[in-house]
Structure 1
Amino acid sequence: TGAALGGALGAGGGYIWSKKMQDQKVAMERATAGTGVAVSQTTDNRLKLDIPSDVSFDVGRANIKSNFAPILSQFATSLNQNPVSTVTIIGHTDSTGSDSINNPLSFDRANAARDYLVSRGVAATRIGTDGRGSREPVADNSTQQGRDKNRRVEIYVAEPQVAAR
């Protein structure tokens, strides 16, 4: 659903980088300072939060870690201040284990983050989720450090151009 949501919005005129998006980026940079979470603007004008496994979820689990909860709470606050923005949450795993384990686990992680945001007042209709399992590694899965980097959650926030008009 997340890929469809992001694709449909992107195809419908693209995204803008508004003052609200910039304010949201600054707020998230402050909220995540020193946590290992990377906050950036993508080339297609989305806000991206790259949340590593040591912040987000334990190995083989989809329960939100205690140090991830305050980050998500601050994120929910910033989302509620920009109600036209949409969110896509993508869960990833390392290659340890089979696809039959990793694929559902990656979805479960994305859905856990979504459910937390919804519990903080963000409308569920604004949030799409996807699980990519181990299909999109960002590092070498043959090393522990690489596997740690590959276990992550990516959150994208977009403001469709039509919303800004």
Structure 2
Amino acid sequence: MYTITTRLSRGLTVSALAAAMAVAGCANMSETQSDSAKGAGIGALGGAILGGLTGGSKGATQGAVIGAGAGALGGYIWSTRMQEQKKAMEQATQGTGIGVSQTADNRLKLDVPADAGFATGRSAVNPTLARVLSQFATTLQSNQVTTVAIIGHTDSTGSDAVNNPLSFDRANATRDYLVSRGVSPARFTTDGRGSREPIADNGTAQGRAANRRVEIYVAEPAQTAAR
């Protein structure tokens, strides 16, 4: 069990989060239950701090309760189907350099380095990525309430006139391959960010390689899953 005490700038002391964080730390939870509980704890923390700053200790307590609810519900859920999809994609991407993770807002993320998916300056899906996407399409079909956002990025080499359309083209090529494997086009959104959102230093070859990427996000909306 965790007890969190936060001293605010007004000299107020808040101890409103023990219950929410205790739930997040309890044993014998499934991974899905634990993820939802952690969301409640994080939401409670933010709510308590904000409430304390604006309404004293009473505001902190109320903020913790509201924040816990928002953190547990969120915009997306991490269901058993999402967890199964993550495990399947971890197996499918072994040795490819493609990363698979769960984001803080309960989306499944595939991080595809350009070197693992596309030839330099090209947008055609290469055979390695094609194999992964074929398996990915199968997992998408097993959970058809999910939506998919695909975002392309480039390094800073070259001009925006080249990088911006290339990032779009790679995102769209990824979508088109999945559609060709039977996934409904209505489930996708695509975007290209060019070189505007680097995750590493473009001043090094290693950093530029990290920045050349396609990110795929799978989300299961909470309101859809509740129906």
Given the two structures, how large is their TM-score scaled by the length of structure 2? 0.66
Q: 1:72 — aligned with what?
A: 133
How many Å apart are 1:38 and its aligned residue? 0.9
1:88 to 2:117 alignment: no
Q: Secondary structure at the match of 1:130?
A: strand
2:182 is equivalent to residue 141 of structure 1: no
Query: How far apart, in 1, do the equivalents of 2:185 and 2:162 lie?
Result: 26
- State the identity %: 69
Q: Which segment is superposed worse, 155-164 or 50-59?
A: 50-59
Corresponding residue of 2:77:
16
Partner AA of 1:72 in structure 2: L
Pairing of 1:7-156 with structure 2 (within 5 A): 14-156=75-217
Q: What residue ranges of structure 2 are gaps of 5+ in the alignment?
A: 1-73
Corresponding residue SS for 2:195:
coil
Q: What do residues 50-95 of structure 1 show as CA deviations (whole Å, max 9, x unaligned)?
A: 0112211112110111111000000000001110000000000010
Scaled by the length of structure 1, the TM-score of the pair is: 0.91
Residue matched to 2:15: none
Q: Which amino acid aligns with 1:63?
A: A
Task: Judging by fraction of residues, say which structure has more helix.
Answer: 2
The Cα shift of 1:110 comes to 0.1
Aligned partner (choices 144, 156, 159) of residue 220 of structure 2: 159
Tell me which of the two structures has the higher relative contact order, counting C-alpha pairs closer than 8 angstroms and 6 or more residues apart: 1
How far did residue 142 of structure 1 move?
Answer: 1.3
Give the gaps of 5 or more residues in structure 1: 1-12
Give the total of aligned pairs. Answer: 153
Moved over 6 A (4+): none
Select the structure of larger CA radius of gyration. Answer: 2
Amino acid at match of 1:144: A
